[in-house]
Structure 1
Amino acid sequence: MRTLAALLALVLVISVSAQYAPTTQSCCEKYTPHVVPADRVESYFKTSSSCYLNAIVLKTVADKEFCVKPELTWVQRIVTKLDSL
């Protein structure tokens, strides 16, 4: 009986720790105020729905990341272009 209780406790600890584990994608604290040139952007990702700001993170060829508003026209063009590649 003790083995079963210990096993259940272990499963509970693992499931709780996995829920709060850090993700590889971070949340944005603020939006970038300037336009990122489309020819410099190589990839993007959307921030998690649990983040305070709804944002798209644009990653450039220089390995820099910029948080931008997803509803901006120039951002939508970049996302559409990258999705078509």
Structure 2
Amino acid sequence: MKTLIALTALVLIVAVNAQYSPTTTECCEKHYLYPIRRVVSYITTSSRCHLKAHVFTTVAGKVWCVNPDLDWVQKIVTKLDENTAATPTKLWF
């Protein structure tokens, strides 16, 4: 009986943890092929996604999936990383 209660508690803990942990990811279905201007940020898709991609966000708020192996994508990522490293983090309240 104690084993059944312990097992039930363990299953409940795992289920709740899986539901609220940050494991939900969005994956890209295809890459946008043309250079994008005015990119303000990017994220890299999860390794669990079938398509490796960076997700660029533009000044206008548009989001584009791009191939991280392309030269123009790597240049934008390098520039964004340099700008982020050079700019101290500001806290806004």
Change (3 A) 1:74 1:9: closer
Paired with 2:14 and 2:47, the residues of 1 have a C-alpha distance of: 25
Runs of 4+ in structure 1 over 6 Å off:
none
SS of match in other structure, 1:42: strand
Residue-pair matches, total: 81
Change (3 A) 1:5 1:46: closer
TM-score (norm 1): 0.78
Task: Tell me the equivalent position of 2:77.
Answer: 79
Equivalent residue number for residue 13 of structure 1: 15
CA–CA separation in structure 2 for the residues paired with 1:70 and 1:31: 9
RMSD: 2.3
Identity of matched residues, %: 43
**TM superposition shift of 1:8:** 2.5
Whole-Å separation in 2 of the counterparts to 1:59 and 1:27:
15
Cα–Cα, structure 1 residues 21 and 84, in superposed 2: closer, same or farther, change >3 Å? closer
Structure 1 position 34, deviation (Å): 1.4
Q: What stretches of structure 1 of length at least 5 have no aligned partner?
A: none
